[in-house]
Structure 1
């Protein structure tokens, strides 16, 4: 990640209600936390310096998949949630003309894409961590999502 992208992330955190932002890929991990005063109080730089990687660009075919954040049990023990691993915009389909990835009642295999979350003009595929049935879709198409925010209520199969 270059300095321009890092500055954009910091600006995004300081100008919104976001209190914590975390992003990780194979070569780097970035954590930005903000206290109640709006000042950044912690930021972790890349884990290891490596040769710069080409950033994927949006294509109608999809981008590199991101694994969904660890499902968090909800009040009812029967259901779990698939949460957003990043801050961005939630999309139910890969393009405006395409069908949605899943509907309520759909059975999803482990590793199957359930939605996209756009972050900084990159479309990230969110995948199911286990075989499940979509019980409820908790977000509307093109709605902003926060890190860790539930996207789907699911029943593990």
Structure 2
């Protein structure tokens, strides 16, 4: 059975090379890592009926915040509804842990009612110890915050609703 450190090393290898897929198979398990455009997927499936199926995403390892922000990731914006075309949704660009502030004792990046512009950092999504700043990428006002601080978020999960100005 692979240890979590070995799985992390395989993920790192996949990130640092031009490989797009890694497939390992043994008597006791199958491991398949695939690198699509913007997210990584890891699945481990045992070949015997005695072992349970395990699925690990890129953020399921330890999710302790680190002190510095490493990268800026683009957020995905989705039109909320036909009824209110001025409201847009910012979705998570990756799987990770959602943080409203840069540290536990720091104020939140934004609150409901806050005015934002396209460069305003609205939150951090931490994935594999990398703190990814998420920018609003539009001008408007925060109408609703849809994720809880410290919550694990999925790729494409709605994080904020913004009324465009």
TM range (shorter): 0.5 to 0.7
Match of 1:62 in 2: 69
Q: CA deviation at 1:23?
A: 5.5
* 1:113 and 1:126 in contact (8 A); partners too: yes
Change in 2 beyond 3 A, CA 1:98/1:77: same
Match of 1:43 in 2: none
Q: Distance in 1 between matches of 2:123 and 2:153?
A: 12
- Give unpaired runs (5+ residues) of structure 1: 11-19, 25-29, 41-57
So what's the TM-score if we normalise by structure 2? 0.62
**For residues 137-156 of structure 1, what are the structure 2 equivalents within 5 Å?**
137-156=145-164
Q: CA deviation at 1:5?
A: 3.0
- Give unpaired runs (5+ residues) of structure 2: 1-7, 15-21, 23-33, 44-52, 56-64
Can you list the C-alpha shifts for 1:49-69, whole angstroms capped at 9, x where unaligned? xxxxxxxxx753422211212
So what's the TM-score if we normalise by structure 1? 0.65
Match of 2:122 in 1: 114
**RMSD (CA atoms):** 3.0
Q: CA deviation at 1:82?
A: 0.5
